[in-house]
């Protein structure tokens, strides 16, 4: 079947530019799932910057006499999934989720805060909340980080200014899962069909 915007594999031009034949239709894709096609330990078949093969969509049907150098057409969803599966055997996908939140509230007069803001000086009172724990996303945990953000307010009672700092601690957990080539193929094929109105 000949379509106006085929799914293709392609490389950058010899001078590192994006090929002009790529589709710029809204909803199309390019630069997807790049893979270095040179074999380690050998003289490179494809010198930089053409060593990486990408998936994208072309603008216009492929010439019956042949495709440009480095370009192959993927005609079916099955071919697309087979191709992505073949290049992604070692790929993983990382995602993050908030797994804990707690707060620390410190209050005191401006005189108690100064000089410096060490959150533990005389006249400062600090209260904390227990960490609210949320389950990590599914997958293998590869990292946990904690960050914080401050919210500062002041109040004036009969000329006595009180400053309150609420520090919110957020724990974020990063997990890793195997790449899903079938889902990737589904996503790209849906875009292909939408652009070509199939």
pLDDT of residue 116: 65
DSSP letter for 62, please. Answer: P
Give the helix/strand (H/E) hosting 55. strand 52-57
Separation between Cα atoms, residue 146 and residue 169, nearest integer Å? 7
pLDDT of residue 186: 97
87 and 144 inside one domain? no
Q: Mean pLDDT in runs of 10 for the chain (198 residues)?
A: 87 93 92 94 92 94 82 94 96 96 94 73 90 94 96 93 95 97 97 90
120 and 142 inside one domain? yes
Exposure string for 166-197, b = 16+ CB within 10 A, e = fewer: bbebebebbbeeebebeebbeebbebbeebbe
Structural domain of residue 138, as residue ranges? 93-178
45 and 19 inside one domain? yes
Separation between Cα atoms, residue 142 and residue 173, nearest integer Å? 8
pLDDT of residue 62: 82
- Long-range CB contacts (within 8 A, 24+) of 147-155: 147/172, 154/110
Separation between Cα atoms, residue 154 and residue 56, nearest integer Å? 55
pLDDT of residue 141: 96
Domain annotation covers residue 167: yes
Q: Look at the chain and report how many structural domains it folds into.
A: 2
156 and 185 inside one domain? no
pLDDT of residue 115: 65
pLDDT of residue 83: 97
Domain annotation covers residue 1: no
């Amino acid at each position: 079947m000949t379509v106006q915007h085929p799914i293709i594999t392609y490389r950058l031009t010899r001078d590192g530019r994006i090929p002009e034949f790529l589709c710029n239709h809204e909803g199309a894709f390019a630069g997807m799932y790049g893979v270095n096609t040179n074999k380690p330990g050998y003289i490179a078949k494809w010198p930089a910057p053409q060593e990486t093969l990408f998936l994208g969509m072309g603008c216009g049907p492929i010439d019956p006499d042949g495709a440009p150098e480095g370009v192959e057409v993927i005609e079916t969803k099955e071919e697309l999934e087979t191709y992505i599966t073949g290049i992604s055997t070692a790929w993983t996908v990382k995602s993050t989720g908030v797994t804990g939140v707690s707060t620390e509230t410190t209050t005191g007069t401006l005189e108690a805060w100064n000089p410096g803001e060490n959150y533990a000086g005389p006249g400062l009172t600090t209260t904390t909340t227990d960490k609210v724990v949320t389950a990590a996303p599914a997958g293998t945990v590869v990292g946990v980080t904690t960050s914080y953000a401050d919210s500062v307010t002041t109040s004036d009672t009969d000329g006595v200014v009180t400053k309150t700092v609420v520090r919110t601690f957020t724990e974020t957990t990063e997990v890793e899962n195997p790449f899903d080539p079938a889902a990737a193929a589904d996503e790209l094929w849906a875009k292909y069909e939408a652009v070509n109105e199939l």
